[in-house]
Amino acid sequence: MSYVISSAAEPALTEVTKSFPYIEIPIPDVSQLIIQDDTRLDNVLHEKQMRLLTEPLYTSWQTERPFLALANVGLFHEPKQTPVVPDIMLCIDVELPEDWREHNKHLSYFVWERGKRPDVVIEIISNKRGEELGSKMERYAQVGVPYYLLYDPDHYIQEETLSAHILLGDEYESMLPPFLFKRLGVGLSLWKGSYENQDGEWLRWTLPDGSAVLTGAELSTQQTQRADAEKARADAEAQRANNAEQSIAELEARLKALEK
């Protein structure tokens, strides 16, 4: 069933509350709201999490290999098959041509156009109906995605908040943490902190040393702190040099006084 909320209903609700001010209009439960194409609406935290898994890679990941980090982009494995749409996919050694906006064949991820399958697919679980451990997992195995991760902060379909799976043959096998993809030079882990003024636990890309791939805001803060520290060091060095000059001048003055 599909639901459509019309803005035309707002005046009617206003008139009702004016006539009966003691009536409380209950807040509807939108957790399972379905739009016209029967796709569940993403929530704000879901949207922020997807941005946290794309923006930092483009902002501060220092890799010499071209890559694409995509959110909610259709993945086409064969021309006659319907696409699967991962929340996040990371594709290493792949880049878009300069004229990518001019051709529809570049607006989704067509395996035969890009020349390879995605390296990592991440699904952010927000309900029990996505088949992430069922048909969707089988589909990614058919596509040949090497690494498949499930981030389930509300534990809808698994006990773990984060699980990772590696494709061995034609089936996925569970991985043990830490989840580091050595040949890609990056990994994934849970991180507690504040992102866009929201405190909580987040899923983040990590470097081989375990540190998080910085967001643009974090990188800017780090650069500012480094600049401030360098200025403080330079000021301290200048002050030490000035003090030394004063000491030498005082010593010379005393020597001259003694010579007299």
The DSSP result for 13-55, as a single string, is HHHHHHH-TT---PPP--TT-B-TTSPBPP-HHHHHHHHHTTH
Structure tokens at 160: 């773990």
- Specify the pLDDT at position 227: 64
Structure tokens at 3: 């639901």
How many residues make up the chain in this entry? 260
Query: Does the model's pTM come out above 0.85?
Result: no
SS3 assignment, position 167: strand
Q: Are 63 and 35 in contact (CB under 8 A)?
A: no
Peptide bond into 178 cis (omega under 30): yes
Q: Are 165 and 172 in contact (CB under 8 A)?
A: yes
In one-letter notation, the amino acid at residue 191 is W
Q: What is the largest CA-CA distance in the chain?
A: 106
- Specify the pLDDT at position 3: 36
CA distance 176 to 162: 11
Domain borders along the chain are: 42-214, 215-260
- Specify the pLDDT at position 17: 42
CATH topology for 42-214?
Answer: tt1808, chain A (3.90.1570)
Q: In the chain, which stretches have pLDDT less than 50?
A: 1-20, 22-23, 25, 27-38
Question: For residue 160, how many other CB atoms are within 10 A of its CB?
Answer: 12
- Specify the pLDDT at position 14: 44
What 8-state DSSP symbol labels residue 260?
A: -
Helices (H), 64-210: 111-114, 135-143
CA distance 202 to 215: 13
- Specify the pLDDT at position 42: 64
